[in-house]
Amino acid sequence: MSDTTHAGLTIEITPGVAIPAHLVGEVQSKLAYVDERIRAAEVAPSGDRITLQVQAEEDTPQLQAELDEKVQRVIDTMVKGAFKPKIQVLEDHLQRPTPYNQDPMQELVARGEVSQEATGMFSLGPLVTRLIDYFEDQFLGLADAFDANPYRFPTLIPAKYLERVNYFSAFPHSLSFVTHLREDLDVIDEFAQHAACDQHGLNTPPDSFAQVQALLSPAVCYHLYFSLADQPLPNGRLAATAVGSCFRYEAINLASLERLWNFTMREVIFVGPKDYVLKNRENARQHMSQVLEETGLAYRVESANDPFFIGEFRKQAAFQSAFQLKFEIRARLPFEDSTLAVGSYNYHQDFFGRHLNISLPDGSPAHTGCVAFGLERIAFAFLAQYGLDVRDWPASVREAVHG
């Protein structure tokens, strides 16, 4: 079924199997990667209808058939045989009263506090920056509580390292590749004279670019594990902290400050024996529980899974859930009655220890875990709950931001 609108076509697809409620969001976010012509995708909450906005001149049976086949493939792979994970709630402060219930984006833009450079790329003004600095102070306090050593990591990450930790099969959809012009005078001259942008981007022959050796880093803690690879872990345990730019290409899911291509993550990272990592992950959660109470944020901590790509999703998500590997801090967004992950508590077992050959004094592979916060996200969630008028903010935040 379809009809034509000025923005393109609306196409409806009936899933071969109904999408259960717990997978509606997961499937919807993956539809962004199904076909370049899809401009928007929505799975009905009941899971029995998918609505696509498609950029195409005319609706043809072929277009319908192509989209239908790809969408059904996603559903078959993600839904068939999936079981509902038991959501474990470790903390529930979702109903903490907060004064604001608008989408803060409009006011942020009007005040020059947020300005969009392109899809998923934003500049932030003084108020939001100070608010992020406030949260950074809290995260540095968390790092201090563990005597975590500070590190600085590059924004680029070598392809060969990501390959070693199976990143390409787990998260291919969100990768951002980096290249440069081939070291060839003709290629560089040609580029210098003719490079120009059209509405789709930079217009350059693809063979001008060198083979990809580096990508933009999707997370901070990977760099620490890479720096520890292929050697015994000094002292048998390590607590570290770092902040860095991270990149996840989220296609049409990129929207406001909620979901960015280029964002900033602060991590506190633990490497060592299993009980050291698990105990510190739990201690970090308890420390943050007090911090978040002081900031007044309404949130819940609950079990979660990483956004694995379609083929890997079912198995990996079930594994994470069974072994309680990931918990998210989900802040309330009152304006849309939903929640947004502002941070996560992660345990990777000995995955990185095995794949990167990081060994403990007894020769066994090291275990790793990290606590990760999205800086733009936590500021956005706070503003969605408290608004832009600092007089309405909890005293501790107001004083830190305004002196």
Please give the single-letter amino acid code of residue 375.
Answer: L
Asked if residue 243 lies in contact with residue 266, where contact means CB atoms within 8 angstroms, the answer is yes
Determine the Cα–Cα distance for residues 240 and 143; give it in Å rounded to an integer.
Answer: 8
Bridge partners of 12, per DSSP, are 51
Number of residues that bind ligand AMP (CB under 6 A): 16
CB atoms within 10 A of CB 138: 21
Asked if residue 358 lies in contact with residue 231, where contact means CB atoms within 8 angstroms, the answer is yes
Determine the Cα–Cα distance for residues 194 and 307; give it in Å rounded to an integer.
Answer: 39
Determine the Cα–Cα distance for residues 116 and 376; give it in Å rounded to an integer.
Answer: 13
Question: Residue 302's binding partner, choosing from ligand AMP, Zn ion, none, with beta-carbon cut-off 5 to 8 A by kind?
Answer: none
Determine the Cα–Cα distance for residues 79 and 98; give it in Å rounded to an integer.
Answer: 37
Closest separation between CB of residue 346 and Zn ion, Å? 6
Structure-block tokens of residue 363: 């020769």
Strands across the sheet with 50-54, in order?
2-5, 8-13, 50-54, 38-43
Span 300-319, contacts to ligand AMP by CB under 6 A: 306
Quick check: 377 binds ligand AMP (CB under 6 A)? yes
Given candidates 30, 248, 281, 348, which one binds ligand AMP under the rule CB under 6 A?
Answer: 248
Span 369-388, contacts to Zn ion by CB under 5 A: 370, 372
By Cβ distance, which residue is nearest to ligand AMP?
Answer: 374
Closest separation between CB of residue 267 and ligand AMP, Å? 8
Structure-block tokens of residue 220: 């901070």
Quick check: 265 binds ligand AMP (CB under 6 A)? yes
Question: Residue 226's binding partner, choosing from Zn ion, ligand AMP, none, with beta-carbon cut-off 5 to 8 A by kind?
Answer: none
Quick check: 342 binds ligand AMP (CB under 6 A)? yes
Question: Residue 259's binding partner, choosing from ligand AMP, Zn ion, none, with beta-carbon cut-off 5 to 8 A by kind?
Answer: ligand AMP
Closest C-alpha to 335, from 297, 366, 381: 381
Question: Residue 374's binding partner, choosing from Zn ion, ligand AMP, none, with beta-carbon cut-off 5 to 8 A by kind?
Answer: ligand AMP
Question: Residue 341's binding partner, choosing from ligand AMP, Zn ion, none, with beta-carbon cut-off 5 to 8 A by kind?
Answer: ligand AMP
Closest separation between CB of residue 260 and ligand AMP, Å? 4
Binding mask 256-295 for Zn ion (x = CB under 5 A): -----------x----------------------------
